Structure 1
Amino acid sequence: MTEFSRRGLARLAAGLSIVAIGATAALAQGPTFFRIGTGGTAGTYYPVGGMIANAVSSPPNLILTAQASNGSVANINGVVSGQLESGFTQADVAAWAYTGTGLFEGKPKAEDLRLIANLYPESIHFVAAKSANVKSIADLKGKRVSLDEPGSGTLVDARIILKAFGLTEADIKPEYVKPNQAADKMRDGSLDAFVFVGGYPTSAIAELAATGGGVDIIPIMGPQVDELRKQYSFFAEDEIPAGTYKGADAAKTLAVGAQWVTSAKVSADTVYAITKALWADKTRAALDAGHAKGKMIRKETALAGAGVPLHPGAEKFYKEVGLIK
């Protein structure tokens, strides 16, 4: 064998070794898996999460999956503990977790919680039987009102709003049951009103409006709302249109955003790639076609009602597109 061929073989062997090392490193690194904690399979979070996961994934490098869960609180606990890379939550619940207030009073602050995007509004419904003749929050005084279950975000929101309008639980006849049970109680005449937080229209209220003697959506409006929004940044003004529920007039109300959160411990590169893909044309088409709430997920409102800081990866994208300076 000539000296040239020996040198050539040596170079070839060295080159193959470098390729092999690079391939081994790539295999070791593997794809990035990114779970989204959503909600129950019958709710809105789960299908929206699946729709986003499918649109944003870019196999084999980045693979997102939607995971059914018990909703906002469970998702935040999952993100904080590292059992989930991300999750959907109400903006108010995220803010309470971050500050150790509300539902998270007395618990360690979830200081690593970070925002990827605000998704769509979840409207606060104060629903009253037409027969109860309730036209304002103040009219609930002395009425039988369900505020949702203990431990729910809805209960905390309801207390905040009642207080803003000069009422406490001592001023009403409070009950603490889920909205579906409350609708049944209203139908049989044992309840005057109940509170529900979620995207409209919701089936429990729609069925009640159609078959249970009719409902009114009590407006949340007036100077009290301005004070509320100064105190609680996660509240946004909202309106439930006339006809959303049979026989019910349009009602000004408040909403909390359904938000996508992650941990500060997740890499900025990963979150940047996910945020950029979320607002890409491909995802826009999937959101518009896939679910009624998908059309409400808009880049222009991606930062609305933020109660926790932006993740640096998301912040980088929003600066690039001029949403923040």
Structure 2
Amino acid sequence: MALSPLLAAGLAAARPGAAAAQELRYFRIGTGTTAGTYFPIGGLIANAISNPPGSRPCDRGGSCGIPGLIVVAQASNGSVENVEMLRSGAVEAGFAQADVAYWAYSGTGSFTGKRPFAELRSLGMLYAEAIQVVVRSDGFIDRMADLKGRTVSLGEEGSGTLVEARLILDAYGLSETTVSPLYLKPGMSADRLAKGELDGFVMVAGYPVQAVSDVAARVPIRLVPLDGEPADRLLRTQRFYIATEIPANAYPGTAPTPTLSLGAELLTRADRDPDLIYGIVKALWHENTRRVLAEGHPKGRSFDPAKAVANVSVPLHPGAERYYREAGLLGNAANEAGDDAAKTAR
């Protein structure tokens, strides 16, 4: 299990005598691979809302989390594995793409044939993550059709990237039989692309992604646009997709690139203590935490509580709903997506 370094230091500093006066509680968050976006964002959240004995008080710029709570950012393969770890109770919370969460909740899409995870609940949408198809600039790949017959990493099993990669290939008339697919972690995909052992790889994450930045520092890259009728069709059929553009120089030398994105949500189970979840969500959106996120990762600047409940994929946890109502962020239509999900599952 990988932990964020600041959290590890905090654990080491917590003295047994201090802990005795305050009950310690651990809260594990399933994130993603270390070369993606979920893991560093999860580490920042864990460090910001953990509040072990001896922590600097909130009003002095310290943690505003629940006293005695220690949050652990746990590396994983990503969205699908996080959902399954939530189902089994191996973690208390986890990140997932909105469509993966909805399919798990309703037993549809990539979770068809599995028991609907009706106990899945949302703490809110954190930020939008873009579908990124990364190729070398010298690879003569300008559009999705050029990937036919090429060696492409689609993401590893258990990742949300693999789920989206299959949807994207199908929309553009491709499949795992018309490309030579590999199922690699982002870091390994980037390394092989730089070495010329791979023609491209798919990554779904908030840009800039460390793996893509790493390969861009070694060889010139380009991002393949996701536009035209296939993208329009996906926007019509996949309710959580959003048309977006990755800006110029998101990675060194890359041009503005149209693509599709979807929300990254923080999820938990319905049976988690409402007071605990309320305290975690309140700490998550505190100005101290938002400052840590904004300074710690470019995607952290995108965190906006006003957008957190606008299109959640599953119902809000009661503790989260209580916070958003008290903050004036949850109106009559704010939880509409979650209500629709509940109707689908019934």
TM-score band w.r.t. shorter chain: 0.7 to 0.9
Q: Tell me the equivalent position of 2:161.
A: 154
Q: Tell me the equivalent position of 2:214.
A: 207
SS of corresponding position for 2:234: helix
- Whether 2:182 is the aligned partner of 1:189: answer no
- Take 2:100 and 2:221, find their aligned partners in 1: how far apart are those partners? 28
- Take 1:253 and 1:103, find their aligned partners in 2: how far apart are those partners? 22
- Take 2:186 and 2:71, find their aligned partners in 1: how far apart are those partners? 29
- Whether 2:263 is the aligned partner of 1:270: answer no
Q: Compute the displacement of 1:247 (Å).
A: 2.0
User: In the TM superposition, what are the counterparts of 1:33-182 in structure 2 within 5 Å?
Assistant: 34-39=27-32, 43-54=39-50, 55-59=63-67, 63-70=69-76, 71-182=78-189
Q: Tell me the equivalent position of 1:233.
A: 239
Q: Percent identity?
A: 42
Q: Compute the displacement of 1:253 (Å).
A: 1.4
Q: Compute the displacement of 1:102 (Å).
A: 4.6
**Relative to structure 1, is the Cα distance of residues 144 and 306 closer, same or farther in structure 2, using a 3 angstrom cutoff?**
same
**Relative to structure 1, is the Cα distance of residues 291 and 204 closer, same or farther in structure 2, using a 3 angstrom cutoff?**
closer
Gaps of 5+ in 1: 1-29
**Relative to structure 1, is the Cα distance of residues 275 and 190 closer, same or farther in structure 2, using a 3 angstrom cutoff?**
closer
Q: Compute the displacement of 1:136 (Å).
A: 2.0
Structure of higher CA gyration radius: 1
- Take 1:273 and 1:39, find their aligned partners in 2: how far apart are those partners? 24
Which residue of the other structure, out of 244, 248, 257, is the alignment partner of 2:263?
A: 257
TM-score, length basis structure 1: 0.78
- Take 1:236 and 1:133, find their aligned partners in 2: how far apart are those partners? 28
SS of corresponding position for 2:314: coil
Gaps of 5+ in 2: 1-22, 51-62, 333-346
Opposite residue 37 of structure 1, the aligned amino acid is G
SS of corresponding position for 2:177: helix
8 Å contact 2:248–2:256 — kept in the other structure?
yes
- Take 2:148 and 2:295, find their aligned partners in 1: how far apart are those partners? 44
- Take 1:149 and 1:208, find their aligned partners in 2: how far apart are those partners? 18
8 Å contact 1:41–1:47 — kept in the other structure?
no
How many pairs align? 295
The structure with the greater share of residues assigned to helix is 1
- Take 2:47 and 2:24, find their aligned partners in 1: how far apart are those partners? 20
Q: Compute the displacement of 1:251 (Å).
A: 0.8
Aligned Cα root-mean-square deviation (Å): 2.9
Q: Deviations over 1:267-317 (max 9, x none)?
A: 434333332333233333333334333222111221355222222332233
8 Å contact 2:156–2:185 — kept in the other structure?
yes
